[in-house]
Amino acid sequence: MKALVGVGKCLVGLFWFGEVLNLFQVWPASVTTLYHFLSVVILGIHAFEAALASRLWGAQWVEPKYEKMQILVFGVFHLLALRDRQRQAVER
C-alpha cells in the first residue's frame, strides 16, 4: 500500500508540475485551456476532501495546516497515508 501511495503522490506531483509549466504557455492554447480547467476541478475536489477530513479527524492531527496543504496537493493519496499512519499508531 505504501508503494501505491508513493507512486500516486509522484503522479499527482507531476500533474501539478505540468500545471506550473502550463502557466508559461508551454503547450498549444486548446491544451492549456483544458489543463487549467482540469486543475481547477481537481483543486476543488481536493479542497472538498481537505474540508471533510478536517471536520472528521482535524482534532487528531499534530500539524493541521500541513495536513490540509498536503491533502490539497495530493488528495486521496495523502488521506491513505494518514490512514496508514493512524493504524500504525493504534497498533503500538
pLDDT digits (tens, 9 = 90+) for 21-44: 988 878 888 889 999 999 999 999
Q: How far apart are alpha carbons 51 and 34 in whole angstroms?
A: 26
Q: Which residues are CB-contacts of 18 (< 8 A; sequence separation ≥ 6)?
A: 35
Counting residues of the chain whose pLDDT is more than 90, the rounded percentage is 47
Q: With a cut of 80, say whether residue 92 has pLDDT above it.
A: no
Q: With a cut of 80, say whether residue 80 has pLDDT above it.
A: yes
pTM: 0.83
Number of neighbours of residue 58 by Cβ within 10 angstroms: 13
Q: With a cut of 80, say whether residue 6 has pLDDT above it.
A: yes
Q: With a cut of 80, say whether residue 89 has pLDDT above it.
A: no
Read off the C-alpha cell for 55: 471536520
Read off the C-alpha cell for 44: 476543488
Q: Per-residue pLDDT averaged across 36-57, rounded?
A: 92
Q: How far apart are alpha carbons 65 and 37 in whole angstroms?
A: 26
